[in-house]
Structure 1
Amino acid sequence: MAVALFTLGGTIAMAGVGRAGQDVGRGGGDDGGPGRGQDVGRGEGGGGGPVVARLTGADLTAAVPGLTELGTPLEIRDAHAVPSASLTTSHMLAVVRDASRAVAEGAAGVVVTQGTDTLEETAYLVDLVWPHEEPFVLTGAMRNPTLAGPDGPANLLAAVLVAEAAEARGLGALVVFNDEIHAARWARKTHSTSTAAFASPNAGPIGHVIEGGVRVLARPPRHEPLPVAPALPSGGPAGADGSDASGGPVGSEASDGFVAADASDASGGSVAAGASEAPRVALYTAALDDDGALLDGLADTHAGLVVAGFGVGHVPAPLAPVLGALAERIPVVLASRCGSGSVLRATYGAVGSEVDLQRRGLIDAGLLDPYKARILLRLLLADGADRSAVAAAFARHG
């Protein structure tokens, strides 16, 4: 059976040298069409000059030793040529929609190549809505093809092996890097340049690729995929705060705003048209001597807030009443800025502690890091969830 390969640009697809800031490239552009370029980027690994030219999916697969020998047909789709810092929710939902169609047409699994900057977020977004048993594997590279020892070919080979493996069925979205298999729920980018950048601090990898074989060591329980959220936009550039701005179509269907998260709708589902403005969710990191002045007026412009608190979920005492006032108007989720470990619920009771903040109406994110908490909160609000539904969802997912 075939594996559907979607390429979204990123370091894995960069090669050639140009002037910084130059907008050049070959192959598809950010809309998948011919002749469009992309902004210059050096790639995470540095090197002799800024890499510029986008490699197509055919270029990528041709550079992978051993891939042809697998005998696995690849259905290559050059979807977007976008640095992952500029990927949007709409881009990823369009890929999920098309991947659902590929699965309905018989694909054994899906592989997506993209830049690594936002991969931990896009992987979790996919995992929340992917309704199929077939694996959805995301990978990329930390060293671009112009450097000695690029890791892209090995990562792509491992990703294809996982996507077609029976052992990976039912695991949802997976991040495959450095011959490790990570559940999207736990995966984090933990280093800016290392080829071993991806890890799962709270759980470790759930499997490995060993001598061309896929070994799955743990099968984390999965939740029901989130339902259709027609409020999310179909396309357009990312807003300054990271949220999607309303804009032009993504792919070929301008009215599509979200993939149907119903396994019975194998085609990707009919998607609501006439989408309203997407909910904006802010991410705020608590810091030393923080009084919350930057949060003034936020409830007038945003539908939700995720707070990255100290340690187990603490903030400075002056910030606590500010967050409490916001929680009276919009859902406010409390996560930890540490990168691993859980927010606590009943250990500390001082002003600004987790107990105090929960009394003020903040919602516990559990083990979800702030970036994933923002993804979940935004999807919930787009579907019209109220505060009690948001709290129940975080109790399940966190």
Structure 2
Amino acid sequence: MKNTVVLISLGGTIASIPDSSGRAVAGALSGKALMEQLNIHSSGPVEVVTLYQKASNSITTDDLLQLRALCLELSQREEVAGLVVSQGTDTLEDTAYFLDTSLMLPNTAVVVTGAQRVPYVPGSDAGPNLRDAIKVAGASQARGAGTLVVFNEEVHAASTVRKTSSYQLNGFGSPGIGPVGFVDGDEVRLFKQLQRLSAITPGTQLPRVDIMPVAVGASPALLEAAVASGAEGLVIDAIGRGHVPPDWVEPLGAVMKSGVPVAIASSTFLGNLAEVYEYPGCLAEMVALGALKTSHLNARKARLRLMLALSCDMPVDQSLFS
């Protein structure tokens, strides 16, 4: 009977204890201690695995690969209905999208959650978010829906969710898209499912891919320095519809000519890239040189997908983001 949810605890604010300084020590609680402190109960069995006890800024790409392997292993157990990953919120969307774009689990729900407030203060969202995540992970409608982020009684798709506040309880949203579902007490309601890109099975290591942010007067020297120091791919966090400063064109062309793939993302919250302008540094010019458009993905998520593709030597072309 598929009725078991497994909590995989990685640490973060949700698993914090207070320090003598008055500041929080993120990830100090094990998953078991977290469940006990929050007094979490569920209608079905919940198992707990403490994979890491880290602040989210310390999570590495090797950690993500190990997490994926564990999720894959647990999903093969007949009784496991869903998996909940709890971690710090700063890189929560990265973890969620990595799992979404590297796993295809038609019979297992995958849910990621965390907290904006430490579990020991009044009004903490740690308990409510974890309870809701376990409910969603146990819901049959969540199986095969891709990785979901449960936060503040909302359910979001991993491909569109963003951390939208550094401290407020409604810390996550999907700008312009909205949630794919809600949790209302004991009721889990998923009312839409977004189209997903194909899953990529990673190699043994994720290669380095750097994000280059565009801003007024930003130097193209950063591009050359990134490649010279070992970056095997670049994601340009471009402005508007996918544009860069005119003096970036030549060095970007040289980077691509050397065999290093370049993907273009938009730094805006909403809207596709589009080749609708014709001037130096426009998207059309970049595409003509061989740059890849990342469609609706932001730079952090496009970076993960490019890393996955490079790790397993699959062709890196426009189909990667289509």
Q: How would you bin the TM-score normalised by the shorter chain?
A: over 0.9
1:381 Cα deviation (Å)? 0.7
Please tell me whether residue 294 in structure 1 is matched to residue 268 in structure 2: no
Kept after mapping to 2: 8 A contact 1:63/1:153: no
Percentage of matched positions with identical amino acids: 35
Structure 1 runs, 4 residues or longer, greater than 4 Å off? none
Residue 287 of structure 1 aligns to which amino acid in structure 2? A
1:297 Cα deviation (Å)? 4.2
Which of the residues 12, 18, 21 maps onto 2:20?
18
Q: Which 5+ residue runs of structure 1 have no aligned equivalent?
A: 20-47, 233-277
Which of the residues 18, 36, 46 maps onto 1:74?
46
Kept after mapping to 2: 8 A contact 1:155/1:178: yes
Kept after mapping to 2: 8 A contact 1:190/1:198: yes
Kept after mapping to 1: 8 A contact 2:27/2:55: no
> d(CA) in 1 for partners of 2:56 and 2:13?
9
What residue in structure 2 maps to residue 362 of structure 1? 291
Kept after mapping to 2: 8 A contact 1:180/1:208: yes
What residue in structure 2 maps to residue 191 of structure 1? 165
What residue in structure 2 maps to residue 2 of structure 1? 4
Which of the residues 185, 196, 199 maps onto 1:211?
185
Kept after mapping to 2: 8 A contact 1:137/1:176: yes
**1:205 aligns to what SS in structure 2?**
coil
What residue in structure 1 maps to residue 256 of structure 2? 327
> d(CA) in 1 for partners of 2:62 and 2:46?
24
Kept after mapping to 1: 8 A contact 2:276/2:284: yes
> d(CA) in 1 for partners of 2:74 and 2:149?
20
Kept after mapping to 1: 8 A contact 2:238/2:265: yes
| Greater per-residue strand proportion | 2
Q: Map residues 108-257 of structure 1 onto 2, 5 A cutoff.
A: 108-133=81-106, 134-230=108-204, 232=205
Residue 216 of structure 2 aligns to which amino acid in structure 1? L
Deviates more, 1:187-196 or 1:218-227: 218-227
Residue 327 of structure 1 aligns to which amino acid in structure 2? M
1:144 Cα deviation (Å)? 0.2
Residue 285 of structure 1 aligns to which amino acid in structure 2? P
Count matched residues: 316
CA deviations 1:103-150 (Å, max 9, x no partner) are: 222211000110011011110000012221211100000000232211
Q: Compute the TM-score of the two structures, normalised by the length of structure 2.
A: 0.93
**1:349 aligns to what SS in structure 2?**
coil
Which of the residues 271, 274, 281 maps onto 2:209?
281
CA RMSD of aligned residues (A): 1.6
Q: Which 5+ residue runs of structure 2 have no aligned equivalent?
A: none
**1:215 aligns to what SS in structure 2?**
strand
Please tell me whether residue 92 in structure 1 is matched to residue 19 in structure 2: no
CA deviations 1:164-215 (Å, max 9, x no partner) are: 0011111111100001000101111011111111001141100000121110
> d(CA) in 2 for partners of 1:132 and 1:52?
30
What residue in structure 2 maps to residue 371 of structure 1? 300
Q: Compute the TM-score of the two structures, normalised by the length of structure 1.
A: 0.76
Kindly tell me: are residues 305 and 356 of structure 1, through their superposed partners in 2, closer, same or farther at Cα, counting changes over 3 Å?
same
What residue in structure 2 maps to residue 260 of structure 1? none
CA deviations 1:26-59 (Å, max 9, x no partner) are: xxxxxxxxxxxxxxxxxxxxxx434367122222
Kept after mapping to 2: 8 A contact 1:335/1:368: yes
Kept after mapping to 1: 8 A contact 2:154/2:182: yes
Kindly tell me: are residues 80 and 335 of structure 1, through their superposed partners in 2, closer, same or farther at Cα, counting changes over 3 Å?
same
> d(CA) in 1 for partners of 2:248 and 2:69?
41
